[in-house]
Chains A and B, each alone.
Chain A
Amino acid sequence: MRIKTTSVLVDDQDKALKFYTDVLGFQKKTEIPLGEHRWLTVTSPEEPDGVELLLEPDDHPAAKPFKEALVADGIPFASFAVEDIWGEFARIRELGVRFTQEPADMGMVKTAVFDDTCGNLIQIVQLREAAKAQGS
């Protein structure tokens, strides 16, 4: 058994695809029409055959209050790894992304949290090994 796909619940698949590709820099991997929605996934260009992120519609009635409660408390729905958290922070903030947590040292990692504009907060994480490699 292995993890092939993970998902974020998005309020609009078109908007999500735009954000996750144009802003975050992922690439579209699969797009299969499926009733009123699509099986729509993206992957990282750093790992084109790696885990796929499914941009999954959030139209189940339980999804919206769940997402709102997480956002109010600042809790991220998903977490992605980055090599240079301050660089990524500067890059995507420049593109208008709203951060609820700017990069902060959290012991073994540095983390930051931003709004994906589709109803979720997303955490980015830089491992300490990466921090060492770039000499910070």
Chain B
Amino acid sequence: MGDVFKALADPTRRAILDELVARDGQTLFEICSRLGTKHRMGSTRQAISQHLDVLEDAGLITTRRDGRYKFHYINPKPLRGIVNRWLMKEA
């Protein structure tokens, strides 16, 4: 399992998570379109694919094959560990 903090320490990867919050379950093409048009991030498809691998490795996204298509979903579970570690005592 990759490091959650390392995975979050990149603006492109954070933008990917933002876009998956806007709509969960996206193809690589949709993610690339959103980053290119809404965030003006001119990363190559290959670079974005690698960012997705880092996010998946850290457990922050999951991928599911549905027939011939592959979709990406956000998984906020690892972030709960961060919240529990520093914010729970406030409550």
- A residues within 8 Å of B by Cβ? 68, 71-76, 100-102, 104-109, 111, 113, 121
Contacts and interface: CB of A to CB of B under 8 A. Distances in A.
Contacts of A76: 29
Contacts of B70: 72-74
Interface residues of B, number: 15
Interface of B: 23, 26-30, 33-34, 37-38, 45, 68-71
Nearest to B27: A74
Nearest to A107: B37
Contacts of B69: 71-72, 74, 100
5 contacts: A73-B45, A74-B70, A75-B28, A100-B29, A113-B27
B33 A106 contact: yes
Given A68-B68, A71-B68, A74-B70, A104 B27 contact: no
The 5 closest A-B pairs by CB, nearest first: A74-B27, A74-B29, A107-B37, A106-B37, A73-B28
Contacts of A73: 27-29, 45, 70
A29 B88 CA distance: 67
A106 B68 contact: no
Given A73-B28, A74-B30, A104 B68 contact: no
Given A73-B45, A104-B23, 18 more contacts: A68-B68, A72-B68, A72-B70, A73-B28, A73-B70, A74-B27, A74-B28, A74-B70, A75-B27, A100-B69, A100-B71, A105-B38, A106-B33, A107-B37, A107-B38, A108-B37, A113-B29, A121-B29
